[in-house]
Chain A
Amino acid sequence: MIENAWLIPVLPAVAFVVIVFLIRQFKMLSALTAIAAMAVSFIISVGIVWEIIQGGATMKKPVEYFVNWLDLPGLNIQAGILIDPLAAAMLFVVTFVALLVMIYSVGYMHGDPGFSVFFSYLSLFSASMLGLVVANNYFQMFFFWELVGLCSYLLIGYYFHKPSAVQANKKAFITNRWGDFGFMLGIFFLFLVFGTFNFGELAKAIPKYDNVAFLTLAGILVFIGPIAKSAQFPLHVWLPDAMEGPTPVSALIHAATMVAAGVYLVARGFVLFHSVETVALVVAWVGGLSALIAATIALVQDDCKRIMAFSTMSQLGYMLMALGVGSLTAGMFHLTTHAFFKALMFLAAGSVIHATHKQNIFEMGGLRKSMPITTWTTVIGALALAGIFPLAGFWSKDEILVAAYTEGAYALFGLASLVAFMTAFYMFRMVFVVFWGDEPEGQHAHESPLTMTIPLIILAFFSIFSGFIGSPLVETGFFSYVYYKYPHPPEPNYMIMISSTVLALAGIGLAWLIYGKKSISAEALKQRFQPIHTLLYNKFYIDELYLWLFDKVMLNISTAFNWNDRHIVDGIFDGIGDLTRAAGARLRFIHTGSLQNYALVIFAAVVIIMLWMAVPALGGI
């Protein structure tokens, strides 16, 4: 199966082409084509996972095959496939979530005028992400990285008639540009020094290289890419706004494709990020801080999709923190389990939005009765996200905490524990408000169609059980395949298990008291902590800060540059342009149209060359 891995990204790409150029008019056929392509990709991914469990490829002995895409003296760029357990896990997650999201979208996007186009975008989006996952070198990864960015731009701005959607996709695109720029510069530097983009060759070369300053620079530059793509502080501002896209897209972006790309890049380039202590610290702390910032902001948001957006940011922070402290296994394991329950949460939110046409959680309530499947799957997702035993989130989050603790990063450990508490609180705040609470007037919600609920149930199943594959309960699990250098079977640390569970339960309990039972007045709390609430509600004013930076500082600087551009640079270039045009306009008159003038020109040229050749200094005799 591994040798067929190239088909995985190719099939959805083909589906994209077929839909766009051939069958756009037939809506159902388009959707089925996209789903069929993804299903085959999924089956191949499962096959690959199976072969890897049989020992078909390990982290130390990946299967790699490639062709030379560009082969020049001094510049060799490959196009290839690299399959190791890391890639296989990612392939499984991406194809699985993408497949479910597509099935779900059949119901969710029903009746949308751009139905086929939507599916073609989804296909291209998944294809780009899958291409990124199987890439065997940074250059190819960057190419697909850009494609992922482009697709997210298209999908976030899918409702392009809505000004807010247009704003959001611009914001996502521009913010990601910063990251792409850093990434590009970073791999360019790496190429200059090591002369290759290939992951394997770099992994061999980097440890032997001892210029710490350079490695720090390159590592941090490359890391700017994941900061933007995985929405980490300080480039996280695009993620909440990206909620303007259709909800299935949000699910795809948050669970499997776009934001996971950043984490995957860090995992793929693990050698680079751990070649220098500083870079690893930066990765860990960016992750940790983002986790905290996002969790605090999520405490007070009232748009259900935004709550989830910040929760994603916070969970991605967890993953990067794990990678930063040196546990590839924990980071990737959390990425996997998170994909399941986050996709579940988003699709459930989509189901709710589909039913109520509202996104503000305080305008909903009591949906428990009308939407039982959505309710219970959401509760499972929330429990998993909060990290309650024995759901998936518990095992993966626990591993991160253990990793931070055993590596001696106690500050990060404390921070992560705090975030665990907050996560449980804000998730259940949402659950209690939306599904319990009082039904507002005029709410006629009903359960969503089967194409939407079945993916929910499947994801709920995985949210419950996927944690076991990496838990200390099993002999060989996730950790036996995906690791850095050598496998680290998790050691059950009961102290951490109990403390994190207690914290999570405390969070849920507090949420129940405030929003379920209402024995503590939310309003009173809000009044009491008004400044903090305002600060959090406005997301630490980071958007405003950027706005101010752009409006005032950048604008003034750019005005200055603009003047310079208009008067000096433009002057020069206009001058060159005019000169070029004028030169062209004059020179054309050497073509007089007269045959004998032409003959004369040719003959004169011969004479001039002869004279020239007669001068010894110019190579004559």
Chain B
Amino acid sequence: MNQLQMDFNLLTVEILMATLGLVVLVLGLLIPKNQSRGIAYFTTIGLVAILLYSVTMQWTKAEFLNGMYLIDPFSTLFKQIFLLTAILVSVGSYQFMEKYGHNQAEYYSLMVFATLGMMVMASAGDLITLYIGLELMTISLCVLTCFRLRDAKSSEAGIKYIILGAMSSAIMLYGLSLVYGMTRTTVIAEIAAAIALDGVSPLLLLGLVFLVAGFAFKISAVPFHIWAPDIYEGAPTPVTAFLAVASKAAGFAAMMRVLLIALPDLFVHWNVMIVGLTVLTVVLANLVAIPQTNIKRLLAFSGVGQAGYLLLGIVAFTQLGVGAVLFHTLFYVFANVAAFMVVIAFYNETGSDEIRDYTGLAVRSPLLAAVLLFSMLSMAGIPPLAGFVSKFYLFTAVIDQGYVWLALISVLMSMVSVYYYLIVAKVMYIGKPADDAKPIKVSSGLQIALILCLVMIFAFGIYPAPFTDLAMNVANTFFTP
């Protein structure tokens, strides 16, 4: 056996994250409860610092422990996506948690650990590592989901998430065990080699089905999305934002690694499944979003729809496809977290998530209304906003591979999505606010985060080249060993 490759410098980001999580947890014990705002700020600053540090590793490509853990631009970009989400969500949590939370240190610490789990998923070069990362993320998120102890909805969401999550991991694990059995290894690079050598067996295909099902659950692709709306609605809104963006992105990172790198020889087999899931996801999510009356459920379904568009990039199985997924995920962080932050700010003031209560929001808070409007239009893919560019890339990627019909369905359902987004816009802009409606105050931290998101949504749309270049370069390194 070779010398173990253990250059711990490569793990700096992960080690820093773990340290941050533990320090926050300990700080919570030391600092009096009434001064816990400091913990929140500390978390945000820590996350920003780690994000900045991660930039120094942008183009590092190395292995840790003989391929069990991979540090490459692909995983680093995903880590930055998770960090960005965590930063924005932590800023969005300040007021919410003070009002509805109880133990802030635990909350922020769990968030950091969930992010760490995602990072491990993105970097996993081994099925065991992948599983550990996945569970670290899932369990942390479960606790976060039912973090509002006195809220029955939150607890219900928690129990649904833990049971369905555990079940789906069991299914996925079963798949992993079969893949391990058929290839005699758990290291992703070796799996590909083993399959190329031994060929395809029925048990391997069975394992593949279970594996795809498990991933489909994590990225909430129809019909495995079935848990998502309930849990999104019940969870505290910052957690929902985190779930909707980061956990989905992590699912995609791991899924791409496994399907595109470990199982490229099974392309014909998994491609059929993914195409089916894509069609179902894009169609169903956008249809079911229409009659929703709760903004969080609406965003949940819209998020499910976005997962469908992201699947297009996997269907394409090209560098362009992977690049498009990266770009879409990057933009999606800003658009979706922005939308959820508006929901948080609104809930902080009014205690309601119902769309009808958003009547006249444009008058009560022009900033919130504008951010929600533009993030939604962006998700609908209206030019010149970011969503247009990323969808353009995704559709081009599949059309290049001959899936014109798939792109057509997606475009059609994009138009349907405009419909339900505009319902919200109509309520906000045309509806007259109730007579007793007061202007909605938005804290300055949240304002900065909202404006940042808005700027990014426009920047991605108006001048996408630097971001697409980044995504394409990263995608390029993803395929070269």
The reply to whether A and B meet directly (CB within 8 Å) is: yes
Interface residues of A (CB under 8 A from B): 67-75, 79, 577, 580-581, 583-585, 587-588, 590-591, 593, 595, 598-599, 601-602, 605-606, 609-610, 612-613, 618-621
How many residue pairs, one in A and one in B, have C-beta atoms under 8 Å apart?
106
Is A584 a contact of B168 with CB atoms below 8 Å? no
The answer to whether A602 and B164 touch (CB under 8 A), given A71-B469, A580-B287, A588-B288, is yes
B288 in complex: contacting residue of A73, A74, A79, A584, CB < 8 Å: A584
Is A68 a contact of B465 with CB atoms below 8 Å? yes
B50 interface residue (CB < 8 Å to A): no
Residue of B at shortest CB range from A589? Answer: B288
B465 in complex: contacting residue of A69, A585, A609, A620, CB < 8 Å: A69
Is A613 a contact of B393 with CB atoms below 8 Å? no
Q: Which A residues are CB-close (under 8 A) to B273?
A: 609, 612-613
A540-B292 Cα distance, complex, nearest whole Å: 59
Least distance between A343 CB and chain B CB atoms (Å): 33
Residue of B at shortest CB range from A77? Answer: B465
Q: Which B residues are CB-close (under 8 A) to A619?
A: 268-269, 271-272
**Given A73-B320, A585-B290, A609-B213, 4 more contacts at CB 8 Å?**
A68-B465, A69-B465, A583-B287, A598-B227
Is A590 a contact of B164 with CB atoms below 8 Å? no
Q: Which A residues are CB-close (under 8 A) to B289?
A: 584
Is B396 a contact of A72 with CB atoms below 8 Å? yes
A613 in complex: contacting residue of B167, B269, B416, CB < 8 Å: B269
Residue of A at shortest CB range from B223? Answer: A605
Is B468 a contact of A71 with CB atoms below 8 Å? yes
Least distance between A10 CB and chain B CB atoms (Å): 13
Residue of B at shortest CB range from A581? Answer: B290
Is B292 a contact of A588 with CB atoms below 8 Å? yes
A343-B269 Cα distance, complex, nearest whole Å: 71
Is B287 a contact of A584 with CB atoms below 8 Å? yes
B393 in complex: contacting residue of A72, A79, A605, A618, CB < 8 Å: A72
A612-B206 Cα distance, complex, nearest whole Å: 11
The answer to whether A580 and B209 touch (CB under 8 A), given A595-B159, A599-B167, is no
B403 interface residue (CB < 8 Å to A): no
Least distance between B344 CB and chain A CB atoms (Å): 23
Is A605 a contact of B392 with CB atoms below 8 Å? no
Q: Which A residues are CB-close (under 8 A) to B205?
A: 613, 620-621
B202 interface residue (CB < 8 Å to A): yes
Is B160 a contact of A598 with CB atoms below 8 Å? yes
A to B CB contacts below 8 Å, 21 in the list: A67-B465, A70-B389, A70-B464, A72-B393, A79-B463, A591-B226, A598-B226, A598-B230, A599-B163, A599-B167, A601-B226, A602-B213, A602-B217, A602-B226, A605-B213, A606-B209, A610-B206, A612-B272, A613-B273, A619-B269, A620-B269
Q: Which A residues are CB-close (under 8 A) to B269?
A: 613, 619-620
Residue of B at shortest CB range from A67? Answer: B465
Residue of B at shortest CB range from A600? Answer: B226
Q: Which A residues are CB-close (under 8 A) to B276?
A: 609, 612
Q: Which A residues are CB-close (under 8 A) to B180?
A: none
Is B209 a contact of A613 with CB atoms below 8 Å? yes
Is B229 a contact of A585 with CB atoms below 8 Å? no
Interface residues of B (CB under 8 A from A): 159-160, 163-164, 167-168, 171, 200, 202, 205-206, 208-210, 212-213, 217, 223-224, 226-227, 229-230, 268-269, 271-273, 276, 284, 287-292, 320, 389, 392-393, 396, 400, 416, 419, 463-465, 468-469
Q: Which B residues are CB-close (under 8 A) to A609?
A: 209, 212-213, 273, 276
Q: Which B residues are CB-close (under 8 A) to A70?
A: 389, 464-465, 468
Is B164 a contact of A599 with CB atoms below 8 Å? yes
Residue of A at shortest CB range from B469? Answer: A71
Residue of A at shortest CB range from B280? Answer: A605
B396 in complex: contacting residue of A73, A581, A595, A610, CB < 8 Å: A73
Least distance between A147 CB and chain B CB atoms (Å): 12
A523-B396 Cα distance, complex, nearest whole Å: 70
A378-B229 Cα distance, complex, nearest whole Å: 73
Q: Which A residues are CB-close (under 8 A) to B217?
A: 602
Q: Which B residues are CB-close (under 8 A) to A601?
A: 223, 226
Q: Which B residues are CB-close (under 8 A) to A581?
A: 290-291
User: Among B224, B271, B465, B469, which residue has the most Cβ atoms of chain A within 10 A?
Assistant: B465
Residue of A at shortest CB range from B167? Answer: A599
A583-B163 Cα distance, complex, nearest whole Å: 29
B213 in complex: contacting residue of A69, A71, A606, A621, CB < 8 Å: A606
Q: Which B residues are CB-close (under 8 A) to A605?
A: 213, 223-224
Question: Which are the 8 A-B pairs with shortest beta-carbon distances?
Answer: A584-B290, A584-B287, A619-B272, A598-B226, A585-B291, A605-B223, A606-B213, A587-B288
Q: Which A residues are CB-close (under 8 A) to B389?
A: 70
The answer to whether A602 and B168 touch (CB under 8 A), given A73-B320, A587-B288, A593-B230, is yes
B272 in complex: contacting residue of A71, A74, A591, A618, CB < 8 Å: A618
The answer to whether A602 and B392 touch (CB under 8 A), given A583-B287, A610-B209, is no
A79-B463 Cα distance, complex, nearest whole Å: 9
A598-B219 Cα distance, complex, nearest whole Å: 16
Residue of A at shortest CB range from B270? Answer: A619
A224-B389 Cα distance, complex, nearest whole Å: 30
A601-B227 Cα distance, complex, nearest whole Å: 10
Residue of A at shortest CB range from B292? Answer: A588
Residue of B at shortest CB range from A619? Answer: B272
Is A584 a contact of B400 with CB atoms below 8 Å? no
Least distance between A611 CB and chain B CB atoms (Å): 10
A73-B397 Cα distance, complex, nearest whole Å: 9
Least distance between A174 CB and chain B CB atoms (Å): 23
Least distance between A518 CB and chain B CB atoms (Å): 60
A577-B423 Cα distance, complex, nearest whole Å: 14
Is A591 a contact of B396 with CB atoms below 8 Å? no
The answer to whether A595 and B160 touch (CB under 8 A), given A609-B209, A619-B268, is yes
Is B230 a contact of A584 with CB atoms below 8 Å? no
Is A606 a contact of B171 with CB atoms below 8 Å? yes
A609-B419 Cα distance, complex, nearest whole Å: 32
Least distance between A2 CB and chain B CB atoms (Å): 22
Least distance between A286 CB and chain B CB atoms (Å): 33
A591 in complex: contacting residue of B206, B208, B213, B229, CB < 8 Å: B229
Least distance between A507 CB and chain B CB atoms (Å): 50
Least distance between B433 CB and chain A CB atoms (Å): 25
A65-B54 Cα distance, complex, nearest whole Å: 32
B392 in complex: contacting residue of A72, A584, A598, CB < 8 Å: A72
Q: Which B residues are CB-close (under 8 A) to A75?
A: 396
Q: Which B residues are CB-close (under 8 A) to A74?
A: 396
User: Among A585, A590, A605, which residue has the most Cβ atoms of chain B within 10 A?
Assistant: A605
A70-B268 Cα distance, complex, nearest whole Å: 32
Q: Which B residues are CB-close (under 8 A) to A588?
A: 288, 291-292
Least distance between A393 CB and chain B CB atoms (Å): 42
Q: Which B residues are CB-close (under 8 A) to A599?
A: 163-164, 167
A618-B290 Cα distance, complex, nearest whole Å: 33
Q: Which A residues are CB-close (under 8 A) to B464?
A: 69-70
Is A580 a contact of B290 with CB atoms below 8 Å? yes
A584-B226 Cα distance, complex, nearest whole Å: 15
A25-B400 Cα distance, complex, nearest whole Å: 53
Residue of A at shortest CB range from B465? Answer: A68
Least distance between A510 CB and chain B CB atoms (Å): 55
A69 in complex: contacting residue of B159, B160, B463, CB < 8 Å: B463
A593-B392 Cα distance, complex, nearest whole Å: 36
Least distance between A274 CB and chain B CB atoms (Å): 33
Q: Which B residues are CB-close (under 8 A) to A620?
A: 205, 269
Q: Which A residues are CB-close (under 8 A) to B268?
A: 619
Least distance between A489 CB and chain B CB atoms (Å): 43
Least distance between B375 CB and chain A CB atoms (Å): 20
A4-B217 Cα distance, complex, nearest whole Å: 53
